[in-house]
């Protein structure tokens, strides 16, 4: 079995095993209500993971995604209150794109490792969120609230929400972007060997700014979903969700070293983490132990990736 086949099929077998165990262990796992809930639980981390997968494949990390999520959601709420829901949603997405672009520009101009640069920028963005809100929770007005929460509404029989369809749409778009476009091929090239990419005429800096901008858009969409669910936004929303998104990408088989991976793998990683959380709830297990299980999974995924990368031909 080749390294790629092992990486691809191994993660799918893990999902199948989890589904089989939960289906046999509980009577409620395969009910439509639980499956709809499972999909809805995956939305926020899934949206972040779409953008994070682009970054990791491109050889960078975006530790500011959770903070970008918060600022974007806050802007969306404030603009919704003054100009309506469509303008609020558009302003939130534009804010995410702008902050993501700023992240990319800072990383490429300062040449500081993206891990450190975006960690610092996440603190800046959280501070910006606090300045905008004054530390308070912001709400749309009563006349705007119902429209603002439309992303959390069920849209078809069975209760599948608009947010779930949004995740599917974003996953498809980012998959096509990576697999079918020149930009996607350049992302892989830059992540795999940035010096070789530069010598072949690829604009390494512009590619990196591009993946950060896309990560910002995905974070903004995740922020809209969170804000729609709660009907409000605040400066500390989305804290540490970027780490969960990175974990999902890595567990799914996207190489932490860059240059290898796919959005569908990130979605499989999100599914695994969501299944674990759902399993703890359905089986009545103590959720205190859940982070231990997830941490061991991440360690195993990184170790396997390293072993496959250094496997003799």
- On the question of pLDDT at 311 being above 80, the answer is no
Higher pLDDT, 13 or 9: 13
If one counts every other C-beta atom within 10 angstroms of the C-beta of residue 259, the result is 20
Residue in the block written with tokens 């970027």: 242
- Provide, rounded to the nearest whole percent, the portion of the chain with pLDDT above 90: 66
State both tokens at 111.
């040449």
- On the question of pLDDT at 312 being above 60, the answer is no
- 141: pLDDT confidence band, cut at 50, 70 and 90? confident
State both tokens at 214.
């896309």
Per the CB < 8 A criterion, the answer to whether 55 and 263 are in contact is: no
- 3: pLDDT confidence band, cut at 50, 70 and 90? low
User: What pLDDT does residue 153 have?
Assistant: 86
User: What pLDDT does residue 191 have?
Assistant: 95
User: What pLDDT does residue 306 have?
Assistant: 67
| Mean pLDDT, range 267-291, rounded to an integer | 89
Question: Please, is 290 exposed, middle or buried when counting C-beta atoms within 10 Å of its C-beta (0-12, 13-18, 19+)?
Answer: middle
Residues 158-180 have pLDDT tens digits of 688 999 999 999 999 999 999 99
Residues 226-254 have pLDDT tens digits of 999 999 999 999 998 999 999 999 888 88
pTM: 0.93
Highest mean pLDDT among 9-13, 14-18, 92-96, 192-196: 92-96
Best CA proximity match to 271, nearest among 38, 66, 9: 38
The rounded distance, in Å, linking the Cα atoms of 287 and 278 is 10
Q: Return the SS3 of 200.
A: coil
Sign of CA dihedral 15, 187, 299, 282: negative
Least confident of 38-42, 175-179, 302-306: 302-306
CATH number for the segment(s) 9-20+28-309 = 1.10.3470
- On the question of pLDDT at 308 being above 90, the answer is no
- On the question of pLDDT at 201 being above 70, the answer is yes
- On the question of pLDDT at 5 being above 60, the answer is no
- On the question of pLDDT at 6 being above 70, the answer is no
Higher pLDDT, 259 or 187: 187
Per the CB < 8 A criterion, the answer to whether 85 and 228 are in contact is: no
233 beta partners = 138
The rounded distance, in Å, linking the Cα atoms of 272 and 261 is 17
User: What pLDDT does residue 16 have?
Assistant: 87
Higher pLDDT, 15 or 47: 47
- On the question of pLDDT at 282 being above 70, the answer is yes
Q: In the chain, what are the domain boundaries? A: 9-20+28-309
| Mean pLDDT, range 69-88, rounded to an integer | 95
What would the DSSP string read from start to end of the chain? --HHHHHHHHHHHHHHHHHHHHHHH-SSTTSHHHHHHHHHHTHHHHHHHHHHHHHHHTT---TTHHHHHHHHHHHHHHHHHHH-HHHHHHHHHHHHHHHHHHHHHHHHHH---HHHHHHHHHHHHHHHHHHHHTT--B---HHHHHHHGGGGSB-STT--BHHHHHHHHHHHHHHHHHHHSHHHHHHHHHHH-HHHHHHTT--HHHHHHHHHHHHHHHHHHHHHHHHHHHT-B-TTTTTTHHHHHHHHHHHTT--TTSS---HHHHHHHHHHHHHHHHHHHHHT--GGGHHHHHHHHHHHHHHHHHHHHT---
User: What pLDDT does residue 310 have?
Assistant: 61
- On the question of pLDDT at 40 being above 60, the answer is yes
């Amino acid at each position: 079995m080749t390294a790629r086949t092992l990486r691809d099929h191994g993660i799918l077998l893990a999902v199948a095993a989890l589904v089989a165990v939960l289906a046999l262990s509980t009577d409620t796992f395969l009910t439509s209500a639980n499956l709809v809930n499972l999909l809805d639980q995956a939305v926020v981390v899934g949206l972040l993971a779409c953008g994070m997968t682009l970054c990791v494949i491109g050889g960078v990390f975006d530790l500011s995604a959770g903070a970008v999520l918060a600022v974007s959601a806050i802007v969306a709420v404030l603009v919704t209150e003054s100009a309506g829901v469509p303008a609020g949603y558009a302003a939130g997405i534009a804010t995410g794109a702008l902050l993501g672009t700023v992240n990319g520009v800072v990383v490429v101009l300062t040449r500081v490792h993206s891990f450190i640069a975006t960690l610092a920028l996440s603190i800046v963005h959280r501070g910006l969120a606090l300045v905008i809100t004054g530390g308070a929770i912001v709400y749309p007005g009563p006349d705007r609230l119902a429209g603002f929460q439309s992303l959390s509404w069920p849209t078809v029989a069975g209760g599948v929400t608009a947010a779930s369809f949004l995740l599917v749409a974003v996953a498809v778009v980012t998959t096509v972007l990576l697999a079918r476009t020149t930009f996607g091929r350049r992302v892989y090239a830059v992540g795999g060997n940035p010096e070789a990419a530069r010598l072949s005429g690829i604009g390494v800096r512009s590619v990196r700014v591009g993946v950060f901008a896309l990560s910002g858009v995905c974070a903004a969409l995740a922020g809209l979903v969170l804000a729609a669910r709660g009907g409000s936004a605040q400066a500390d929303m989305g804290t540490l969700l970027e780490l969960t998104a990175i974990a999902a990408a890595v567990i799914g088989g996207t190489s932490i070293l860059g240059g290898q991976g796919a959005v569908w793998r990130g979605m499989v990683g999100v599914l695994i983490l969501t299944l674990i959380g759902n399993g703890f709830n359905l089986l009545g297990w103590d959720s205190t132990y859940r982070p231990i299980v997830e941490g061991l999974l991440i360690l195993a995924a990184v170790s396997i990736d390293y072993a496959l990368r250094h496997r003799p031909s």
